[in-house]
Amino acid sequence: MTTVNTQYGTMPESVFAQLRNIALLVCDVDGVFSDGRIYLGNQGEELKAFHTRDGYGVKALINSGIDVAVITGRRSKIVADRMAALNVKYIIQGEENKSQALAKLLETLHLSADQVAAVGDDMPDTGMYTHSAVKIAVNDAHPAVLRQANWVTTQRGGFGAVREICDTILEANHKLGGIQGASV
């Protein structure tokens, strides 16, 4: 297998080449944007931690012309608010069949699987792989997800994995040096 060096380490050259065709990055939320833990308070409030570096990467990717979507099985105002702050247009919550949800989104956007990269951390996320050229698992994903992925990040979910993905897509498209803006 031939590899290419990126700023995060080596990856298969074939995957790096596929990143040049990506028009949509679709992500799970819990375990990808967050570390997968959900904090519940005594008053029923739900808290999640999001990394600002991931937010900066998402904004940079969107500003470069590549769309970002999230598909999550849970419903959360926190997710809606966070993704809105990042200018993510496609927020699909409460969807257990992620394959079907992504298929509908691709139909709406008139995209094909070879234009999609999907990232997940657990078994429900692998449904998105059916409609994705680049199948990404965060470093600390479930072993079965790691086996199905054609790219495993060096960073863990909630700790910069999304930023690594965004940076590497930008790097493959020779746009990494043009990132500007504020961290969110």
- Tell me the backbone φ, ψ of residue 92, rounded to 5 degrees: -115, 110
Check whether 26 has a pLDDT greater than 70: yes
d(CA 75, CA 77): 7
CB 168 within 8 A of CB 6: yes
Classify residue 38 by its DSSP letter.
-
> What share of the chain has pLDDT > 90, as a percent?
89
Domain ranges of the chain: 19-178
**CA atoms lying within 13 Å on the CB side of residue 144:** 7
Computed over every residue of the chain, the mean pLDDT equals 95
Structure tokens at 168: 């590497």
d(CA 131, CA 106): 8
Kindly report, residue by residue over 95-133, the tens digit of the pLDDT: 999 999 999 999 999 999 999 999 999 999 999 999 999
d(CA 78, CA 179): 26
Instruction: Tell how far CA 114 is from the center of its chain.
Output: 16
Check whether 151 has a pLDDT greater than 70: yes
Burial 40-78 (b: 16+ CB within 10 A, else e): eeeeeeeebebbebbbbbbbbbbeeebbbbbbbbeebeb
Mean pLDDT of 5-13: 96
Long-range contacts of residues 167-171, Cβ cutoff 8 Å, at least 24 apart: 167/7, 167/8, 167/57, 167/60, 168/6, 168/7, 168/8, 168/11, 168/16, 168/19, 169/19, 169/22, 169/25, 169/61, 169/66, 169/117, 170/60, 170/61, 170/64, 171/6, 171/7
Residue type, 161: A
d(CA 44, CA 137): 31
Superfamily of domain 19-178: HAD superfamily/HAD-like (3.40.50.1000)
Check whether 86 has a pLDDT greater than 70: yes
Kindly report, residue by residue over 35-67, the tens digit of the pLDDT: 999 888 899 888 889 999 999 999 999 999 999
Check whether 176 has a pLDDT greater than 90: no
